[in-house]
Amino acid sequence: MSEFSREAAVDRVERLLDTVDADPMPVPVREVWVYGDVALGVDPVDRLDVYLTKDLLFGRDADREAEFRDSLGVQGVGKTVDAAWAEQFPEHVRANHSGHAAPEKCLAAHLLGEGAEGTSAGSRTSASSGEGEPVHLEVCNSGFESNVTQRLKGARMRENYEQILDPRGACLWVDGQRSEETLDKLRAGELVFPTLSDALEMLGMESEEAETAASAVRRYRERQEGTSVRGDVV
């Protein structure tokens, strides 16, 4: 699958929300946002961008770590991902390169399927599998709007505009409450946003830099294929 029709993209988002509502998660999920093309009302949607705000576990079931290390070959279950979830969904447990359970990859495997493997580097994970649905999942302990600002600051400092998080987003789910009104507007393509460069100017960029940054973001997205996941801790 190389793209979604608009209707199929919103249906996919609703199925993801249903899963978050119904299933235990590897880490607590506080918010679900969509951003970029699906929020802009375009049809078809080349890539579906979803943002999850998660909580940290802080070793809630650390005493069970050895149990899962022996059975699954993964360290950190009970510390960074929920032990009860791993017991129920062992097929979705994923680790980073050092062999420790990676919350963002576990979430992607559970919500997006087997194509969402990913790779890891430090506290951040960024990967595109080239397989599966054209869905990108961003996972962070910080809320969407806060992380937009943090990522923009870091991208400008490093002049690495590809890492900018598109600020044009819509919140669909918060602490178990789904915004049906926002979903209806999303399905109808009624949400109104500026161009990416204009949005970046509103966040403090000068016009020329905003155009450069927006072009870099577009080129980066065009190179992505299949299912991908990025984890961030700020």
For 5, what's the count of Cα atoms within 13 Å in the CB-facing half-sphere?
A: 4
| Position 226, amino acid | G
Q: Report the first-to-last Cα separation within the chain, whole angstroms.
A: 33
Contacts of the segment 12-20: beta carbons below 8 A, 24+ positions apart: 12/48, 12/133, 12/135, 13/38, 13/48, 13/50, 13/172, 13/183, 13/186, 14/183, 16/50, 16/111, 16/112, 17/172, 17/173, 17/178, 19/110, 19/111, 20/111, 20/173
Residue 159 has pLDDT above 50, yes or no: yes
CA angle 137, 2, 174 (to 5 degrees): 25
Q: Report which of 121, 154, 155, 76 is spatially closest to residue 230, judged by C-alpha positions.
A: 121
Q: What percent of the chain has pLDDT over 90?
A: 84
Query: Which of 35, 12, 29, 53 lies closest to 176, judged by CA?
Result: 29
Q: Where are the domains of the chain?
A: 6-232
Report the pLDDT value the prediction gives residue 117, as an integer from 0 to 100.
45
The model's pTM is 0.91
pLDDT for res 116: 46
pLDDT number for residue 1: 53
| Segment 215-225, tens digit of pLDDT | 999 999 999 98
